[in-house]
Amino acid sequence: MFPNSWRQGILLAILALAFFLPFLGVRYMRNLDAPRVLRHIVLYKFKESTTAAQIAEVVEAFQGLPSKIPGVVGFEHGTNISPEGKSEGFTHSFLVTFPDETARDGYLVHPAHDAFVAIVRERREKVIVLDYWSGP
């Protein structure tokens, strides 16, 4: 077997990990070390007359924006799966991340963004756009 001092060292290390891991986890979950970024959320409720193929075209067009517009540092999208029943008909969510307001402002006036808006404008019933700063 191992000498007592060796076992005591291992026990001390395990106790230290058990004590500090929750703090490390909270730090990670809260993402305190992440840089502050600007999040741009777009939610769509489509007209009942909009077909699945037309919605797919909107999604594909939105997905293409990050490669066409400089300053986009993150992009996610998805459809509503909430069981709460509070979506009020909004089905599609898009999250675009920018390092700062200058990048976001450039995105909003970029010709590729204008072309995307031309595609979605007649297909949406409603749109909600929210921007917020994330990070510490």
pLDDT tens track for 50-89? 999 999 999 999 999 999 999 999 999 999 999 999 999 9
Contacts of 77 (CB under 8 A, 6+ apart): 59, 62, 63, 92, 93, 94, 95
Q: What is the pTM assigned to this prediction?
A: 0.75
**pLDDT of 136 strictly over 80:** no
| pLDDT interval class at 7 (50, 70, 90) | low
User: Residue 52 has which token pair?
Assistant: 């699945």
Cα–Cα distance, 40 to 66 (Å, whole number): 13
φ/ψ of residue 84, rounded to 5: -75, -20
| Same-domain pairing of 26 and 42 | no
CATH, residue 117: 3.30.70.100
Q: Does residue 44 sit in the same domain as residue 8?
A: no
For 13, the domain range is 1-33
Stated as kind and residue range, the H or E segment containing 117 is helix 111-120
pLDDT at residue 33, rounded to an integer:
72
71, 125: one domain: yes
Residue 11, pLDDT score: 45
Amino acid identity for residue 115 in this structure: A
Indicate whether 66 and 106 sit together in one domain.
Answer: yes
pLDDT of residue 28: 46
Same domain? 27 vs 42: no
Q: Are 44 and 110 contained in the same domain?
A: yes
Total structural domains within the chain? 2
pLDDT at 55: 98
In this predicted model, which residue has the larger pLDDT, 27 or 55? 55
Q: Are the C-beta atoms of residues 55 and 123 closer than 8 Å to each other?
A: yes
